[in-house]
Structure 1
Amino acid sequence: MSETEFPKLTRPPLREALVDIRLREELPVSVLSKFHAPKGFPIAKEMRQGQFQLKLDKDKPALAEVLAEGALGWRYETDDGSAVVQLRRNGLTYSILKNYPGWNGLREAGRDVWREFLAVSGPVHISRLAVRYINAISIPLGADYDEYLTTGPRVPKSVPPIVTNFLQRVLVPFEEEAATAIITQTLEMPAPAAVLDIDVFTECSLEGTSADIWSKLERLRGIANRIFFSSLTEKVLESYR
């Protein structure tokens, strides 16, 4: 199925869509004070990172010791929680959680914030690019998963057919694009929903101003689309059109 053959879904089961740009080296902590909230993202929360060591003693309870802790970046949210921007010392993530505008809208919004990031960071080098789509497909408890998922859970014929939980995670290389897809399927309760998490990434070496950033993300998105439409049955896809 080519990109032009993917059906248009008016009500996609999308829970989150994001683009992620990772730097080869972390920026200095001093850069964080120069970041400002992108337009339309008034809620700011500091992000911190730490290193911990677990001490084990047979005569004492396990004790976690903080080895190092420091500022990682800022998380900015819209008032309605529909979108989130993370500006970090090691890169940027732009997420849409509600009212998905389509790939073009996500890409352009991410590109605008990336320009603002570069204005503060100065020249940077990129080591990793990713797109991720998390979907939730409603499935009645006790239903035949084969009616919803093309690679749903399987149980032996000799055991009860009702599956109340499952987790499947596979890594698939796409050699032509030098990319890898992590495909995770799991059942979420109490309202049964099959979560289809598609994370596609590539390791790379690019300058922060390179146009290849966006062409590579475009190709990663194409892989994610192929996986999504190949993972759901026609019955499910029809319900989202």
Structure 2
Amino acid sequence: MPEREFPKLTRPPLREALVDIQLREELPASVLSKFEAPKGFPVRKGIKHGQFQFQMEEDKPFAAKVLTEESLGMRYEREDGSEVVLLRRNGLTYSILKNYPGWEVLREAARDAWQDFLTVSGPVNVSRLAVRYINTVNIPLGADYDDYLTTGPRVPKLVPPVVGGFMQRVLVPIEPDSATAIITQTLEIPAPAVLDIDVFTECSLEGASADIWSRLEKLRNIANRIFFSSLTEKVIQSFI
């Protein structure tokens, strides 16, 4: 079945769009010194993970103790903060946070970064792929949410119909594509409503496999269907 075509948005409401590739096994810490900053990403920060112990005692201030800590990877940013690349011992994430140029540009940028990753890592096995789109929608206080969201919040009939905030999260299996979608809608006045679409699949693929990109394409198509079916026509038209 051909993929349904959706209108092209000239003003997409994206806060962040990302591609994530995770490895089945972590690379050794020694690989981190071999990672190089992608061209055009001068801002560099370390990524660490560890174990912490929290202590709460009567009449004593709350205390946290670091039990173990080690480097997980590097975070590289463009000067203006518009794009971020995470090179980790357990995978790669490529994010666009400003001026989203479209899926094709994100996909190819992630592909180039992944090729550079493989040059350093050598052969790897990929266990998880994901695409994620975090969108914002301005909804005036007191507005009818049904004018904006197709699955907005509901309140009991005997309660005043003014919602000052909400959070809704659903996990949906997408069986034909062996994928899972996590759809989160939140609102905290006065901030815009957030539509967070996270679509992922578990897999077992060689790092150089072309199937990585065909599967990411399917995940993006799922995310697209969710986005356009989550917003009303009135809202979609405002982004065209």
Q: Give the structure-2-normalised TM-score.
A: 0.96
Instruction: Say whether 1:52 aligns with 2:52.
Output: yes
**Aligned AA for 2:208?**
T
Structure 2 distance, partners of 1:150, 1:89, is 40
CA shift in 2, pair 1:2/1:198, >3 Å: farther
* SS of equivalent to 2:219: helix
- TM-score, normalised via structure 1 length: 0.95
Residue 206 of structure 2 corresponds to 207
Aligned to 2:195: 196
**Which residue in the other structure is 2:115 paired with?**
115
1:29-178, aligned counterparts within 5 Å?
29-57=29-57, 62-178=62-178
Q: Is the 8 A contact 1:188 1:195 kept in 2?
A: no
Answer yes or no: is the 8 Å Cα contact 1:45–1:75 preserved in 2.
Answer: yes
Which stretch of structure 1 is more off in the superposition, 171-180 or 52-61? Answer: 52-61
1:180 is the counterpart of 2:180:
yes
Q: Select between 122-131 and 55-64 the one with higher mean Cα deviation.
A: 55-64
SS at match of 1:206: strand
Corresponding residue pairs, total? 240
Residue 132 of structure 1: how far off its partner (Å): 0.1
Structure 1 residues 166-206: Cα deviation after superposition (integer angstroms, max 9, x where no partner): 00001000111111000000003324x11000000001111
Deviation readout 1:80-124 (Å, 9 max, x if unpaired) = 111000000110000000111111100000000000000011111
2:5 aligned residue:
5
Question: Could you tell me which residue of structure 1 aligns to residue 229 of structure 2?
Answer: 230
In structure 1, what residue type is equivalent to 2:72?
L
- Where 2:98 maps in the other structure, the secondary structure is coil
SS of corresponding position for 1:166: strand
Between stretches 145-154 and 49-58, larger displacement belongs to 49-58
Verify the 8 A CA contact 1:16 1:96 in the aligned structure 2.
Answer: yes
The offset of 1:52, in angstroms, is: 1.6
The answer to whether the Cα contact below 8 Å between 2:83 and 2:97 also exists between their aligned partners in 1 is yes
In 1: Cα distance, 2:74 partner to 2:54 partner: 28
Aligned letter for 2:196? D
What is the alpha-carbon distance in structure 2 between the residues aligned to residue 171 and residue 36 of structure 1? 37
Residue 155 of structure 1: SS of its match in structure 2? coil
> Residue 219 of structure 1 aligns with which residue?
218
Report if the CA contact (8 A) 2:164-2:188 is conserved: no
Look up the SS of the partner of 1:3 in the other structure.
coil
- Match of 1:176, SS? helix
Identity %: 75
Matches of 1:127 and 1:104, distance apart in 2: 23
Runs of 4+ in 1 over 6 A off after TM superposition: none
Inter-partner Cα distance in structure 2 for 1:238 and 1:190: 23
Letter in 2 for 1:44: R
The Cα shift of 1:60 comes to: 5.3
Q: Which amino acid aligns with 1:141?
A: L
**Amino acid in structure 2 at the alignment position of 1:100:** Y
CA shift, 1:8, in A, is 1.3
Amino acid at match of 2:209: S
Ranges in structure 1 where 5+ consecutive residues have no aligned partner = none
Name the CA distance, whole Å, in 2 between partners of 1:224 and 1:2.
16
Tell me how far apart the structure 2 counterparts of residues 205 and 55 of structure 1 sit (CA, whole Å): 40
Confirm or deny: 8 A CA contact 1:82 1:99 kept in the other structure: yes
Contact 2:18 2:93 (C-alpha < 8 Å) held by counterparts: yes
